[in-house]
């Protein structure tokens, strides 16, 4: 990336690459410190929610599998 380049993201900071997020001045070159920090804080919430959803899906699948094996 050179001067004047930035990463395109959606409103939540997700890039076109699945599982890759970006925030701050790499997504908005005009953003000052507070706006960049706020963007990063929101993106962190989104990433955490994404990771928690993945973990819950794995746990639920394991639970359902254990219930199927025991006949419950």
pLDDT digits (tens, 9 = 90+) for 4-26: 788 999 999 999 999 999 999 89
Is the pLDDT score of 66 beyond 70? yes
What separation in angstroms does the CA of 13 have from each of 5, 45, 52, 69? 16, 10, 17, 41
pTM of the entire predicted model:
0.76
Q: What is the pLDDT of residues 21-64, one digit of tens each?
A: 999 989 988 889 999 999 999 999 999 999 999 999 999 999 99
Q: Coil, helix or strand for 32?
A: coil
| Per-residue confidence (pLDDT) for residue 71, from 0 to 100 | 73
Q: Coil, helix or strand for 47?
A: helix
């Amino acid at each position: 990336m050179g001067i004047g380049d930035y990463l395109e993201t959606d409103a939540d900071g997700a890039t076109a690459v699945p599982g890759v997020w970006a925030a701050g001045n790499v997504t908005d070159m005009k953003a000052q410190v507070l706006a960049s920090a706020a963007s990063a804080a929101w993106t962190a919430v989104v990433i955490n929610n994404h990771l928690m959803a993945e973990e819950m899906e794995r746990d639920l699948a394991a639970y359902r599998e254990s219930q199927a094996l025991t006949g419950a």
